[in-house]
Chain A
Amino acid sequence: MDKNILLVEDNPDDAELTRIAFAQAGLDYRLEVVRDGAQALDYLFARGAYANRRDAELPAVVLLDLNLPKLGGREVLQAIRTHETTRTLPVVVLTTSNERFDIDACYALGANRYIRKPVDFEQFVLAVKQIGLYWLVLNKPEPL
């Protein structure tokens, strides 16, 4: 099956490491990478540069960094939860911060999961495997 993951990440090294981690986790997916919050929303709502996106389908899961240029991760999350078509879209916050106020704020805004990116790459591959197993294999989306 051909499943999409949207990765919202402005650091090219992190984007590349995430791509490799998903490949190593052996998951069947297509990783779409956008570099800021505004692009993320354009992609999800198939507008702007993504107005003619071939399959306007939503990804299986969004991996969202918090510290983004233009529109921050929290604002993206808020927009996703407010908009009718993306209200129940799974969002995994994947970020550097482990400060309690960031974690609390993200769950309050409706994040499905909050994961702190580990420095140890092997730990990161393990975390990605868990995300993949849960959101791409086990999780059944809410019926419309």
Chain B
Amino acid sequence: MVDQAAMPVDMPRQSPAETALPLRTQQAVLRGLTHDLRAPLRTIDGFAILLQRYLIQHQGMDATSSDHLQRIRDAANGAASLLDALQELTSAGRAPLRHEQVDLSLMADWVAAELQDLAPAREASVHVMPGLSVRGDEYYLKRMLARLLENAWRFSPPNVRVQVEIEGERIGERVQLRIRDHGIGFDMRYADRLFEPYQRLHGAEEGAGAGLGLAIAQCIAQRHGGRIRAESTVGAGSVFHVELVDAAPADAGDG
């Protein structure tokens, strides 16, 4: 038997320019993917839950069927959050940004409240220093804080209170934020991989998600003239340093 996958294949003699789709087409394909794939996922989740209820109602449900149906639903919802993250990453990279005064402290408190709503049973305390602000795009800056705080929640041990402190200062037109958690931390040898899409330093059993959250946060920080870097001690927690720069004063009527 010859393993087909191991057979040598001639490389096509084409320049990258000939093989690449135009950027606009790539974006349209990506947009189609992230939107249109949600429809079949709705169908899968919707009819799995209806089947679940039907079987329960007609005494046809056993432990195995119940387990299988739950796995189908979890997979559909997992794929949906992956699509969401992918869409968020592409839109964070190309959407026109607004220039408005953004109360970062308020946004951080708001995001913390939303996370608590999603997991009401989880004990958490998030302390935010008041008065932090920057001129930029409120919608995307809130998304950036959401991804960073989500990360802090995700990598806090499950039976321990989530503890996050957010503080910072302004230096001229730059704002430095520090988001400190007391979670499981990560090995500093991999610090530069942290912000690349799909690079995960932890397994799913340690709380890892799609592996796009920090890439999204980094992309938003960069579009605001800054960047994010992280330092960590395994077992003691991490600090994310976020640098943002005030956008130019309101131009073309926005802000």
Listed in ascending order, the chain A residues whose CB lies under 8 Å from chain B are: 11, 13-14, 17, 20, 67, 96-101, 117-122, 124
Q: Could you tell me if B77 and A13 are in contact, using CB atoms closer than 8 angstroms? A: no
Q: Which residues of A contact B103 (CB under 8 A)?
A: none
Q: Could you tell me if A96 and B49 are in contact, using CB atoms closer than 8 angstroms? A: no
Q: In the complex, A67→B31 CA distance in Å?
A: 13
Cβ 8 A contact of B41, one of A11, A97, A119, A122:
A119
Q: Could you tell me if B50 and A20 are in contact, using CB atoms closer than 8 angstroms? A: yes
Q: In the complex, A122→B40 CA distance in Å?
A: 16
Q: Which residues of A contact B45 (CB under 8 A)?
A: 119-121
Number of interface residues of B (CB under 8 A): 21
SS class, residues of chain B in contact with chain A: helix
Q: Could you tell me if B50 and A117 are in contact, using CB atoms closer than 8 angstroms? A: no
Q: In the complex, A49→B76 CA distance in Å?
A: 38
Tell me, rounded to whole Å, the shortest Cβ–Cβ distance linking B171 to chain A: 30
Cβ 8 A contact of A121, one of B35, B49, B84:
B49
Tell me, rounded to whole Å, the shortest Cβ–Cβ distance linking B127 to chain A: 30
A14, A100, A122, A124: residue with the most chain B Cβ atoms closer than 10 Å? A100
Q: Could you tell me if A120 and B39 are in contact, using CB atoms closer than 8 angstroms? A: no
Q: Do A124 and B35 form a contact, CB below 8 Å, given A119-B76, A119-B80?
A: no
Tell me, rounded to whole Å, the shortest Cβ–Cβ distance linking B157 to chain A: 27
Q: Which residues of A contact B80 (CB under 8 A)?
A: 119-120
